[in-house]
Amino acid sequence: MRTVDGWGDKVGSERAARQLQGYTSDMRAPGLPTQLCLAVALGAIACHGRPAAPPNPQAEIAVTVDNQNFADMDVFIVRTSGERIRIGMVSGLTSRILMVRPDLIGNSTELRFEVHPIGARTNPISETVTVRPGDVIHLTIPPS
């Protein structure tokens, strides 16, 4: 006969059934009053936090690039003036975080991203994005 893992008794025996029944009955979810008290306590803790600090004007902008394409890509920011600035390279089928210093953005809060597949002639450009110091921007390069 087969045995129950960890119990050592044969399947179908009364002792194994009692042990399994006791095991599952101890694993019940807490009742509604316990859940309600927990929710109220967590809500009170969440509302009692310190006020948010003002954003640091010197904070870098993080650009997470998910390159789902086989080609390695050079990534550029394009200012509203049209100036292109290379911020890094992301290998094919990888993800990478590129940090952009606030001085590269300048006074503009809007910019676009341009990716250049290494060895290709096309340069796809993103839509205009509004950025602030400390922002995290997610850029996905789809497969071709």
Instruction: Report long-range pairs for 49-54 (Cβ below 8 Å, ≥24 apart).
Output: none
Q: What is the pLDDT of residue 53?
A: 65
Residue 95: inside a domain, yes or no? yes
Distances (CA, A) of 36 to 1, 33, 41, 48: 46, 5, 9, 18
Q: Which residue has the higher pLDDT, 9 or 58?
A: 58
Q: What is the DSSP letter of 36?
A: H
Domain residues for the domain of 69 are 61-141
pLDDT digits (tens, 9 = 90+) for 10-46: 444 444 444 444 444 444 444 434 334 444 444 444 4
Contacts of 99 (CB under 8 A, 6+ apart): 60, 61, 62, 63
- Same domain, yes or no: 133 and 77: yes
pTM of the model: 0.62
- Same domain, yes or no: 108 and 39: no
Q: Say whether pLDDT at 92 is over 90.
A: yes
pLDDT digits (tens, 9 = 90+) for 103-132: 888 777 899 999 999 999 999 999 999 998
Q: Say whether pLDDT at 143 is over 60.
A: yes
Residue 102: inside a domain, yes or no? yes
- Same domain, yes or no: 78 and 117: yes
What mean pLDDT value characterizes the chain? Answer: 75
